[in-house]
Structure 1
């Protein structure tokens, strides 16, 4: 919504509060006339279409305020439009672009809102997860310190019964320290090789010997491990539905564009910088 529209609508809100609405004698339709300006009709359809394009903050207004505000807005626009000799050359071009974008948008919206069958979702699931990587995932904690001696002292303290999480909060220099050294679940390739290799050799609940990486010295605790599995279809149904619809949109755009008889300006014939020269519209 442009600034003029916003200000005009805001300015009519209070006036709209005092303007009573006429009782409806017949069922409303898009052709129901709500006002005329020098003989030009403004219809309920115009108002509904404008309401749908409003920012959410305006759409939350009470019905009577919104109705009267939109009606006043359309009356003002109609009167101003009648006072001109028609749109400028620039205005005509904008209208052509807006019409083109509106119609194209409606075609895409129809496809975006189309039903997606269970077979299509199953096919999308199979394509996405049939060859999904499997393997082991680990859940571990670590304490990061600067020297091997510090790491050895941590191992001794842990073997003596110290709490790993509390020790991580106190001693770890890594970003996970405040969280007790918790790293969450990770799989192969997500950690540096030295760290990953150490975890692979550990049993659940075990504490590692000091492990050196590019970041310093680590002491690890393996909290748990599990077999990595693909998500269930139901867990990703919504995501897959959106992906199928997006694929349909892309296929539609490609189909109609490929079928069209398109010619393009030869490369280099027009300087790309000219699209920034607004003075050309005044020629």
Structure 2
């Protein structure tokens, strides 16, 4: 049935039959904009079709959409009025599911509207980003070699006044070597634990002793460190709104479900392959 409706939609947009339109300021959702053998088509019917169009059609001008939507509804109405267009069990069940889904969506929309307010967003933002302790970020360089002895010799060389970047370019086996060993800014969790611990224990400008990781032996210098700044509200607003929405909806669903009298047929009591037998709707 869905494929059939989709084909009818494409056909309707291709035909583009014009229809006189009432002045916009006189129309309401209940305004009758067409009749098909006495069956009324209202602006409300057209509005719902308009709202459910795929994204590529949403961009079309309203005067173009008017014709296509009108044609679609007229064609569907003509077909539904035929003797073969009876309301079968399959149609009835589909309508029941659609009605249930739309009513649930309407409740969810109300919950989200009540939960996602500017004040609520601001409160979450302050708790999560402004009042929470801000993480530190580190800017470090390193020299990677294969053995502890090589690393120790490099530490002595650096303590003797050698330039860290020049030594890194000459001796480091890591991919950052040609760039003087620079790793840029990173926060906790971005480096392997042994490396991260060594960096966090250094003072700015200090050079570590040999540090072993799964990659080999490192000599590290801490170039800078800073407190990570909180993101701007606009940058995380969408994330916060999603959080508030999900919390409100989940809480309400749990509340209503727990209060409802719900009975279920145990999965073990049925042959679950019946779920693929769409033919049952035709019996």
1:182 is the counterpart of 2:183: yes
Deviations 1:231-264 (A, max 9, x none): 7878755543432332221222122222222122
- Shift in Å, 1:40: 0.7
Conservation of the 8 A alpha-carbon contact between 1:165 and 1:181: no
Equivalent-residue separation in structure 1 for 2:100 and 2:110 (angstroms): 16
- Secondary structure of the corresponding residue to residue 202 of structure 1: coil
Equivalent-residue separation in structure 2 for 1:258 and 1:194 (angstroms): 48
Equivalent-residue separation in structure 2 for 1:13 and 1:173 (angstroms): 61
Deviations 1:35-91 (A, max 9, x none): 111111111110111000011100111222211001000111111111134233222
Deviations 1:20-41 (A, max 9, x none): 6445286111112121111111
- Shift in Å, 1:12: 3.3
Equivalent-residue separation in structure 2 for 1:133 and 1:171 (angstroms): 36
| Aligned match of 1:78 | 77
Q: 1:84-99, aligned counterparts within 5 Å?
A: 84-99=84-99
Q: CA RMSD, aligned part only?
A: 3.8
Conservation of the 8 A alpha-carbon contact between 1:211 and 1:217: yes
Conservation of the 8 A alpha-carbon contact between 2:141 and 2:223: yes
Greater Cα shift, 231-240 or 1-10: 231-240
Greater Cα shift, 249-258 or 82-91: 82-91
| Aligned match of 2:275 | 275
TM-score, with normalisation over the residues of structure 1? Answer: 0.78
TM-score, with normalisation over the residues of structure 2? Answer: 0.78
Q: 1:223-238, aligned counterparts within 5 Å?
A: 223-227=223-227
- Shift in Å, 1:130: 9.6
Conservation of the 8 A alpha-carbon contact between 1:114 and 1:245: no
Task: Identify unmatched segments of 5+ residues in structure 1.
Answer: none
Equivalent-residue separation in structure 2 for 1:167 and 1:220 (angstroms): 14
| Aligned match of 1:163 | 165
Task: Identify unmatched segments of 5+ residues in structure 2.
Answer: none
Instruction: State how many pairs are aligned.
Output: 279
Equivalent-residue separation in structure 2 for 1:230 and 1:114 (angstroms): 27
